[in-house]
């Protein structure tokens, strides 16, 4: 009796191993197909993203050449002109404009007993 149970158990385990191996082969095949689908679907998206990045790079170069560079050039000219005028007029004694007045000195608190810079008992 135990030999029969042993034989049936061996047969059942062999069938189970066969089924698991078949299912594993099917799983491997499905994973392979999934990778093929992903590669086929993702490649055009990656190519489009690459093209978009190149377009953005070219746009940035174009904007830099046509907009930013002239602004920098004109700003550089204005700064150079102002520096030239400042260096030419630095020797001339001009009144300071009301816009740029000399900074005021902060008044410091006087010590007790001192008025107008003269101590109280020293007035004559």
Cite the beta strand spans of the chain per DSSP E.
114-115, 118-119
CA–CA distance, 76 with 65 (Å, rounded to integer): 16
Residues 6+ apart with CB under 8 A from 96: 102
Consecutive sets of 10 residues in the chain, 124 residues long: mean pLDDT of each?
92 97 98 94 91 94 85 88 87 58 64 61 51
**Residue 24's pLDDT is what?**
98
């Amino acid at each position: 009796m135990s030999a029969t149970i042993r034989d049936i158990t061996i047969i059942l385990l062999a069938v189970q191993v066969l089924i698991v191996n078949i299912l594993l082969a099917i799983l491997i095949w499905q994973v392979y197909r999934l990778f093929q689908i992903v590669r086929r679907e993702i490649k055009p998206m990656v190519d489009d993203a690459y093209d978009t990045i190149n377009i953005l790079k070219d746009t940035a170069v174009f904007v830099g050449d046509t907009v930013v560079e002239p602004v920098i050039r004109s700003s550089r000219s204005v700064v150079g002109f102002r520096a030239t005028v400042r260096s030419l007029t630095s020797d001339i004694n001009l009144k300071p404009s009301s816009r740029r007045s000399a900074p005021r000195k902060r008044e410091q608190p006087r010590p007790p007993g001192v008025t107008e810079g003269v101590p109280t008992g020293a007035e004559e």
